[in-house]
Amino acid sequence: MAVNEHPRRTPLIAGNWKMNLDHLQAIAFVQKLAWNLKDAKHDVAAVEVAVFPPFTDLRSVQTLVSADKLPIVFGGQDVSAQDSGAYTGEISGAFLAQLECKYVLIGHSERRTLHAETDEIVSAKVTAALKHNLVPIICVGESAADLELHGPSAVPVAQLRAALAGVTNAADFVVAYEPVWAIGSGKAATPEQAEQVAAQLRLVLTETLGQDVADKTRILYGGSVKGSNIAGFMREPNVDGALVGGASLDIDEFSSIVRFQQHVGL
């Protein structure tokens, strides 16, 4: 299987900065990333590049991207299920939309574990994001214990079904399969493992929202993705990109991931 055989699904490489880089560092980073990709003659139409900075960076990133017309999109790492009101510390989807965020990460495993986000909360956040015309990137994945107890796909499949509870087939969203045991561990899943679960997740999309949605929705793999292993994932028919944590903080490494088509050995 050659890479990118899905004309309806443009690959997406998304960098999740987590709690790294302040707004000044963010400006320098995004500027350098854009230069780096331009120097490398990256085909911006062929692979979409997104970054997910901390909230406090978003206004600076927006200003830079829009002033210099950089071919990089951005999004929030989380969103509130509420629109406005007495929710100290929460960020409304309306605010993210005002800052020209295209995407928002929802249900990342660090949110699920460290902030006790349940499937119900994830579903409410997905609904809130869609309401504000943000494209949710719905993160699902099994822990090492889940893997042992239930096998690889049961938990991600259940999480996706729950997250889609309020979603219609008109919605634009992305799914990110991130095995918890692979996140930040340096131990990525194998391309075969990623494909096996991604195929199950696509079946969920077919069953719940129909063939068209299943055909056009991108499913990313995340968990210890690097320049040296991205090509293997991108060769799989159901993997349409990557959600990258640690390696997204290194410009050369992240650029190399974005440019997987150059070193995939087609």
Would you please indicate which residues are annotated as catalytic (active-site) residues? Answer: 108, 178
Estimate to the nearest angstrom the gap between the alpha carbon of 150 and the chain centroid.
25
Which residue among 58, 70, 180, 183 contacts ligand PGA (CB under 6 A)? 183
C-alpha–C-alpha distance, residues 132 and 102, integer Å: 10
Q: How far is the CB of 264 from ligand PGA (least distance, A)?
A: 19
Q: Where are the alpha helices (DSSP H) in 69-218?
A: 93-98, 109-114, 119-131, 144-150, 154-163, 191-209, 211-216
**Interacting residue with ligand PGA among 178, 195, 236, 240 (CB under 6 A):** 178
183 and 222 Cβ atoms separated by less than 8 Å: yes
How far is C-alpha 39 from the chain's CA centre?
25
| Closer by beta carbon to ligand PGA, 101 or else 244 | 244
- The only residue of 4, 16, 80, 229 in contact with ligand PGA, by rule CB under 6 A: 16
73 binds ligand PGA (CB under 6 A): no
**54 touches ligand PGA by CB under 6 A:** no
User: Least distance in Å: CB of 86 to ligand PGA?
Assistant: 31
Length of the chain measured in residues: 266
Token digits for 16?
């999740």
Looking at 38-46, 202-210, 218-226, 228-236, which segment touches ligand PGA (CB under 6 A)? Answer: 218-226
* Chosen residue from 184, 196, 200, 237 binding ligand PGA by CB under 6 A: 184
Least distance CB 238 / ligand PGA (angstroms): 18
121 conformational bin, left if phi > 0, alpha if psi -120 to 50, beta if neither: alpha
Residue 222 in the binding site for ligand PGA (CB under 6 A): yes
Write the binding mask 137 to 176 for ligand PGA: x where contact by CB under 6 A, - elsewhere: ----------------------------------------
Q: CB 182 → ligand PGA: shortest distance, Å?
A: 6
Q: Are 115 and 106 in contact (CB under 8 A)?
A: no
> From CA 177, how far away is CA 78, in angstroms rounded?
17
What is the binding site for ligand PGA (CB under 6 A)?
16, 178, 183-184, 222-225, 243-247
